[in-house]
Amino acid sequence: MSATQISSPNQTPLFPYERWQARLPERASRYQQNRPFCHDHFVDFLDDEVARRAAAAFPKTQDGSWIQWKHYNENKQGKNKIDELPPPLASLIEEFQSPEFVSWLSELTGIAVLVPDPLLEGGGLHVSHRGGFLNVHTDFLRHHHNPHWRRRVNLLVYLSEGWKEEWGGCLELWDREMKRPVVKYPPLLNHAVVFNTTEESFHGHPDPIECPQEQARKSIALYYYTVESDEVPAPGGTSYRSRPRDGRRKRTLIWLDTKLVGLYSVLKRRLRFSDGLASWLLGKIARK
């Protein structure tokens, strides 16, 4: 299906297909040419009303259950149960998983037959408060519960209303040698970044953010896959990397924590458990 074939006359899509379809050839070319790896950055990704409604509906981390991703390499929280999300956010995620949007994304990236993840494995809502960070890393490439699914594309849509760039939290895309960040994108409201997920797509926001206590870095994170004929090799999970300025102790702890995360990913695949238990343990440690 072409991305120009969108919803029925009785249903208004939450993504402005007509606006972005008109620019698709230019954006697809830019996507392939951008460095350090294939990606594109979008301003006013959604209509303003849609973005602000989603930002206003973003739940507080005190409300309901949140996954606690709090260990040496990251400090953030997530929520990936779509039936627990407020309607403006649930509807927007459903739009991003629709055949129309996935078709548009395939045309943008040049990757055919992408499939969305209904389980939102590792995705959904992400939030980082003051002091939050995410060390530079590459993502897991095989879905934990679908061994033939290879992760190919990340979509990050930012909903940080009122964010100021001096607070930090920029998404950094690093070169393959891990010498420097090539580009940095602040997590401003209604900005989005799409990029290929590979063994060399190093990214993160490694410096602790300095926003006021009442503010937070908020985003929707969605991942798209291709279905392979053979099982996708799974050498480990998320692979974190140290930066040139990191000292020996920090480099060692980043490496050690990466090994533990990799072990967790192996156990998760084999035992098919959710993130709930690990989240509960990490939450207790974080509170102490």
Residues of the chain short of pLDDT 50, as ranges, are 1-10, 282-288
pLDDT at 4: 36
Dist CA 218 CA 66 (whole Å): 13
Q: Which CATH number fits domain 17-287: 2.102.10.10, 3.40.50.12780, 3.40.50.2000, 2.60.120.620?
A: 2.60.120.620
What is the model's pLDDT at position 145?
Answer: 86
d(CA 17, CA 99): 12
Kindly report the pTM of this predicted structure.
0.90
Work out the number of other CB atoms within 10 angstroms of the CB of residue 13: 16
Q: Which two tokens stand for residue 46?
A: 């959604």
Q: What's the pLDDT at 279?
A: 53
For 18, phi then psi, to 5°, come to -60, -40
pLDDT, residue 101, reads 98
